[in-house]
Amino acid sequence: MDWNQLLAGRTSLMRRSAVRELLRLTNRPGMISFAGGLPAPELFPVAEVRAAADQLLDQHGSKVLQYGETEGVAELRDWVATSLSRPGLTLSRDHVLITTGSQQGLDLIGRVLIDPNDKLALENPTYLAALSAWRPWQPQFLPLTCDEDGLTSDAIAKVPGLRPKLLYTIPNFQNPTGVTLALERRRQLIARLAGSGTLIVEDDPYGELRYRGEALPGLLELAGGPEPQLLRLGSFSKVLAPGLRVGFVVGPADLIEKMALAKQALDLHTATFNQWLVLELLRNGVVDRNLSKLRAAYGERCSAMLEALENHLRGAATWTRPEGGMFVFARLGNGVSATTLLAKAVERGVAFVPGGEFHVDGSGEQTLRLNFSHASPEKIPEGIRRIAEALAGLS
Amino acid sequence: MDWNQLLAGRTSLMRRSAVRELLRLTNRPGMISFAGGLPAPELFPVAEVRAAADQLLDQHGSKVLQYGETEGVAELRDWVATSLSRPGLTLSRDHVLITTGSQQGLDLIGRVLIDPNDKLALENPTYLAALSAWRPWQPQFLPLTCDEDGLTSDAIAKVPGLRPKLLYTIPNFQNPTGVTLALERRRQLIARLAGSGTLIVEDDPYGELRYRGEALPGLLELAGGPEPQLLRLGSFSKVLAPGLRVGFVVGPADLIEKMALAKQALDLHTATFNQWLVLELLRNGVVDRNLSKLRAAYGERCSAMLEALENHLRGAATWTRPEGGMFVFARLGNGVSATTLLAKAVERGVAFVPGGEFHVDGSGEQTLRLNFSHASPEKIPEGIRRIAEALAGLS
């Protein structure tokens, strides 16, 4: 069975296959899954997608089924450029590449930019699949320290001296920690790296999913645009539907051109039909209306999880208090390994991802990532109760 | 303008961007395009795709919009396995990976298999984007000689001694030549490479598009299956719609598993919605019925092009006589470069791809690839007439 193989497997194998195997695990009947990073399927705007598909095929059938340009559908690139433009920040379609999910943006960064032994500075812990995307190019990962406000000031101050090729950050509701990079630290990051030759990679799949507090300007906005040294990765997976696999990269025009050349050899272009579908749902307001629903529903789930943690795990663990996104990150207080806990938790019908997976320095053994967007708010307390029970059995 | 830049550009740049730029070119009003490799959009089964999308979203809305397994939708993998199985050849889903177009299959081969200086044996000329997909891994391309029946017997006999890591072939209606590998040479290839450690990569996007003559068994069939050393690449782009970006790889189960691990870092998985759409259209017979239409229409276009070549270019060029697929390959007889001819042809409102692009050894200067699937049968004679006129102006 895949699951036993995962637990018994070598670390390197675990690292590579963990997300994949865990996605499988969530299909088991009766399982309450805080693993994966799945949106709530019951909140997909299915009827609206259906209407949009119907209309597109009715009005532009052959165009949306044909091969397209590698850079993406021009109208969708324009939409992304316009939606991110504001006074003092003017983007055009030349700054935008449509990708097959934002995972492909990460892959393209590896392809186009990373050479063996290049130093990549990143939050520790960070998004697992960014590490997987970049490892084949044999870079050197430089883990940066984070606290409840994201990258620490000390860590940021150290970056220029390390001369990394790029700095990778998920400033909003980070994966896996749920933590948000504070405004003054965003400013510090932009100021410190100006003219340093280090590319800033701002991955922002969750930015629109804020349930509490005030929205902060992104690094793209604070830098006044992507030129000369910033890439923003974006995605429609979390605000619309991941099964469409449509994301985008915003960056310096010359780098976008290089990434498009590389993308051509990967998959020629992102599915034409899916791009038009996303554009139609942006234009007719479905994405915006759906976002309001998602914020209400996920906000409720986030609160339910924080409350359940308080009720069942106070004293036994500490955890982050996200203002948005999809994840809470917890740290066990009693020396128990999260991987050991997971094996027991699965027996009780609840799953999560051990946090060690997301660390690049081998630490994080006692941490776990808890997704709150997929399970219903009724099941969340029960799932946390089961984890507490499993933990009690180990102490 | 991109086009002038292409013509003025360096060879390496031309190689990388030619197909991309040419796809753009075909959008100009009044242009008769024999460039690109586009299916005829007026033949897409738009109403049937619409009905299938409607039904899928109605009955399985959230499932088809959610994240999925990296290997692909299990039911689609089963369908591919079953459709390729026959007495003496049993495939299961473990032999099948669904890819984001078959271009991604080529990319994955590079990722998983190719190390610097690896020798890759291939038909000369061959598919441009296979070369683009593999060049980043710095292999050594070994060009093999082809004639009107594909790879020559002499070339096949030489392969084992060259000890290439893989041999790449498009046995049916090859891109760019339109030529089909003869049955006895297929048998010879399988026999010679048995136990040699060379992987056979059989790329077959056009196999179902046969307009004359008898269908030949593929290398997969002749080898009795993919184990231990054969990969078959397949695609729904030519038989259904390229804008959906759904293809597949059939191969040894352990290699498929490795490719799936690599794919996870590329785009997590191929768009769920698109996979279900393809499956539905396979199950309800739309793909088969559409294939009958395509064969009739493309067969007519193929004949129209061969007749027009006979009428306008006899004595000035020679050309292949494909029994299927999308391309005729011509060779100019008067020492004129096809790139020079293209510049003049574009002025007269007709486009094609210079054949030098597809050669790995710098030859093919006087060759051109002519696509016959995209232009209407009425326009094909006019397009060939314009090429003849452009050629006459250069002689």
pLDDT(A24) > 80: no
The Cα B328–Cα B320 span in angstroms is 6
The pLDDT of residue B4 is: 29
The Cα B381–Cα B301 span in angstroms is 10
Residues B177-206 have pLDDT tens digits of 999 999 999 999 999 999 999 999 999 999
pLDDT(A290) > 60: yes
Residue B169: partners with Cβ closer than 8 Å, 6 or more residues away = B122, B123, B150, B151, B181, B189, B200, B201, B202, B203, B219
List CB contacts (< 8 A) between A266 and chain B. Answer: 100, 103-104, 107, 133, 266
Instruction: Look at B66 and A50 and tell me if their CB atoms are within 8 Å.
Output: no
Instruction: Look at A107 and B267 and tell me if their CB atoms are within 8 Å.
Output: yes
The Cα A339–Cα A348 span in angstroms is 14
SS3 A218: coil
What's A105-140 look like in SS3?
Answer: HHHHHHHHHCCCCCEEEEECCCCHHHHHHHHHHCCE
The Cα B170–Cα A393 span in angstroms is 60
The pLDDT of residue A343 is: 87
Instruction: Look at B46 and A69 and tell me if their CB atoms are within 8 Å.
Output: no
Instruction: Look at A129 and B16 and tell me if their CB atoms are within 8 Å.
Output: no
Residue A367: partners with Cβ closer than 8 Å, 6 or more residues away = A125, A329, A330, A331, A332, A338, A354, A355, A356, A359
B20 falls in which pLDDT band (50, 70, 90)? low
SS3 B132: helix
Beta bridge partners of A247: A99, A235
Instruction: Look at B107 and A241 and tell me if their CB atoms are within 8 Å.
Output: no
- Residue B93: name the closest of B273, B275, B250 by CA: B250
Residue B18 tokens, joined: 């030619």
The Cα A238–Cα B389 span in angstroms is 55
Residues A73-119 have pLDDT tens digits of 999 999 999 999 999 999 999 999 999 999 999 999 999 999 999 99
SS3 B165: coil
First to last CA, chain B: 28
Question: The tokens 């409102």 sit on which residue?
Answer: B349
pTM recorded for the entire structure: 0.93
Q: Closest Cα of chain B to A262: distance in Å?
A: 9
The pLDDT of residue B13 is: 37
Residue A31 near residue A347 (C-beta atoms within 8 A) = no
Considering only CB atoms, B61 lies closest to which of A39, A44, A262, namely A44
Residues A164-189 have pLDDT tens digits of 999 999 999 999 999 999 999 999 99
pLDDT(B215) > 70: yes
- Residue A121: name the closest of A153, A169, A154, A157 by CA: A169
Q: Which residue of B has its CA nearest to A128?
A: B265
The pLDDT of residue B343 is: 87
Residue B329 near residue B370 (C-beta atoms within 8 A) = yes
Q: Which residue of A has its CA nearest to B241?
A: A65
Q: What are phi and psi of B44, to 5 degrees?
A: -60, 140
Q: Select from B55, B268, B272 the residue whose CB has the most chain A CBs within 10 Å, as the one to mutate to test that interface.
A: B268
The pLDDT of residue A17 is: 52
Q: Select from B273, B278, B287 the residue whose CB has the most chain A CBs within 10 Å, as the one to mutate to test that interface.
A: B273
The Cα B239–Cα B236 span in angstroms is 5
Instruction: Look at B271 and A245 and tell me if their CB atoms are within 8 Å.
Output: yes
The pLDDT of residue A21 is: 62
Instruction: Look at A245 and B267 and tell me if their CB atoms are within 8 Å.
Output: yes
Considering only CB atoms, A244 lies closest to which of B111, B265, B271, namely B271
Q: Closest Cα of chain B to A350: distance in Å?
A: 20
SS3 A240: coil
Instruction: Look at B39 and A66 and tell me if their CB atoms are within 8 Å.
Output: yes
Residue B326 near residue B301 (C-beta atoms within 8 A) = no
Q: Give ∠ CA B93-A247-A124 in degrees, rounded to 5.
A: 90
List CB contacts (< 8 A) between B244 and chain A. Answer: 65, 271-273
List CB contacts (< 8 A) between B36 and chain A. Answer: 67
- What count of CB pairs under 8 Å joins A to B? 197
Name the average pLDDT for chain B. 92
Instruction: Look at A44 and B62 and tell me if their CB atoms are within 8 Å.
Output: yes
Considering only CB atoms, A136 lies closest to which of B50, B68, B111, namely B111
- Report the run of H or E that residue B273 belongs to, with start and end: helix B272-283
Interval B32-53 mean pLDDT: 95
List CB contacts (< 8 A) between A69 and chain B. Answer: 20, 23-24
Residue A328: partners with Cβ closer than 8 Å, 6 or more residues away = A178, A302, A305, A306, A309, A319, A320, A321, A322, A369, A370, A372
Instruction: Look at B24 and A273 and tell me if their CB atoms are within 8 Å.
Output: no
- Report the run of H or E that residue A202 belongs to, with start and end: strand A199-203
The pLDDT of residue B2 is: 33
First to last CA, chain A: 28
Instruction: Look at A274 and B274 and tell me if their CB atoms are within 8 Å.
Output: yes
pLDDT(B218) > 70: yes
The pLDDT of residue B16 is: 42
Residues A222-280 have pLDDT tens digits of 999 999 999 999 999 999 999 999 999 999 999 999 999 999 999 999 999 999 999 99
Instruction: Look at A63 and B41 and tell me if their CB atoms are within 8 Å.
Output: yes
Q: Closest Cα of chain A to B53: distance in Å?
A: 7
- Residue B232: name the closest of B121, B127, B81, B118 by CA: B81
| C-beta neighbour count of B386 within 10 angstroms | 20
List CB contacts (< 8 A) between A106 and chain B. Answer: 265
Residue A181: partners with Cβ closer than 8 Å, 6 or more residues away = A149, A150, A151, A169, A171, A172, A174, A189, A216
Instruction: Look at A49 and B66 and tell me if their CB atoms are within 8 Å.
Output: no
Residue A391 near residue A352 (C-beta atoms within 8 A) = no
The HSE-up count of residue B139 (CA atoms within 13 Å, CB side) is: 25
Q: Which residue of A has its CA nearest to B99?
A: A267
Residues A30-71 have pLDDT tens digits of 899 999 899 999 999 999 999 999 999 999 989 999 999 999
The pLDDT of residue A357 is: 86
Residue A330 near residue A372 (C-beta atoms within 8 A) = no
Considering only CB atoms, A67 lies closest to which of B38, B68, B272, namely B38
Residues A192-202 have pLDDT tens digits of 999 999 999 99
Instruction: Look at B265 and A107 and tell me if their CB atoms are within 8 Å.
Output: yes
- Give the type of residue at B146: C
List CB contacts (< 8 A) between B264 and chain A. Answer: 16, 19-20, 129, 132
> Is the peptide bond preceding residue A228 cis, with omega within 30 degrees of 0?
yes
Domains of chain A by range and CATH? 2-44+289-394 (3.90.1150.10), 47-284 (3.40.640.10)
SS3 B7: helix
Residues B43-88 have pLDDT tens digits of 999 999 999 999 999 999 899 999 999 999 999 999 999 999 999 9
Considering only CB atoms, A100 lies closest to which of B24, B46, B267, namely B267
Q: Which residue of B has its CA nearest to A70?
A: B20
Q: Give ∠ CA B160-B164-B168 in degrees, rounded to 5.
A: 100
pLDDT(B105) > 70: yes
Instruction: Look at B61 and A70 and tell me if their CB atoms are within 8 Å.
Output: no
DSSP annotation of B239: T
Residues B116-146 have pLDDT tens digits of 999 999 999 999 999 999 999 999 999 999 9
What distance separates the 2 farthest-apart alpha carbons in chain A? Answer: 63
Helix axes B272-283, B46-65, angle to 10 degrees: 130
Q: Do the strands B166-169 and B119-123 form a parallel or antiparallel pair, or are they unpaired?
A: parallel
Interval A384-395 mean pLDDT: 94
Residue A392 near residue A345 (C-beta atoms within 8 A) = no
Q: What are phi and psi of B388, to 5 degrees?
A: -60, -40
Signed CA dihedral, B248, B251, B253, B258: sign only: negative
Q: Closest Cα of chain B to A24: distance in Å?
A: 7
The Cα A331–Cα B189 span in angstroms is 59
